[in-house]
Chain A
């Protein structure tokens, strides 16, 4: 494995501008995102019934839960991309991991915005140091530090290696977040969709539409972010060559 060859010498300067192409499926993901998000909004407000105990605030879950799941998916992609990079030394894996980490931080930020706005009317507080909430905040901080690390290491090979290690180790927090509600006393609602639970069918269907919509949004944002990363690398190489 020769990481230096692949990461440090990306010979993009020899190619024309068209050599940083968009993903062929990007338009498809974009179209599906708009259509499914519109459907989700309609279902969340007009199809799903109002929860008798939580009232209107329960509808926050149709964006909160899918954002959390897709955040986990994004960090899983960082985990896989980081392992693949360390194993193969191919730059494309580092590009995907870096892009997925940034998009994942956006999704988990959405969770940290919508969660407290559900907590205030239902629990009476915006935030409590509950195991699920605390481990989730740690997850967000880990991947925020992953992005900060990438910004502070100028040398591409070292940057990619350090980030890959953090991307792998950081993913260990995902199962901790998921299982925290079982391991410790947590006030946070558990994984009611995965475990069957007693969620009414209309709520379950709306939640699944939300998961699909946010999956398309993730794929679209990932495709754009990967291209931005490659364009940035190309611009940096052009600067060095001058």
Chain B
């Protein structure tokens, strides 16, 4: 793998991790808050 390809792979993996982790974090918050609001409504 050439030097340039290493940076290419790092950029795609880095961006995928950033967007992916943000998505997972958002969905986790959404599930937690949904549960909390359901409990409060009872």
Chain A residues packing against B (C-beta within 8 Å): 16-17, 20, 41, 54-57, 59-60, 63-64, 67, 106, 109-110, 113-114, 117-118, 120-121, 217, 221, 224-225, 227-228, 231-232, 234-235, 238
Partner of A224, one of B3, B14, B18, B30: B30
Q: How large is the interface on B (under 10, 10 to 19, 20 to 34, 35 or more residues)?
A: 20 to 34
Indicate if the CB atoms of B14 and A117 lie closer than 8 Å: yes
**Residues in B neighbouring A41, C-beta threshold 8 A:** 12
Could you show 27 A-B contacts with beta carbons less than 8 Å apart? A17-B41, A55-B2, A56-B4, A56-B7, A57-B7, A60-B11, A60-B12, A64-B11, A67-B15, A106-B19, A109-B18, A110-B14, A113-B11, A113-B14, A113-B18, A117-B11, A117-B14, A118-B7, A221-B23, A228-B26, A228-B33, A231-B29, A231-B34, A232-B29, A234-B37, A238-B37, A238-B40
Spell out B's residues near A (CB within 8 Å).
2-5, 7-8, 10-12, 14-15, 18-19, 22-23, 26-27, 29-30, 33-34, 36-38, 40-41
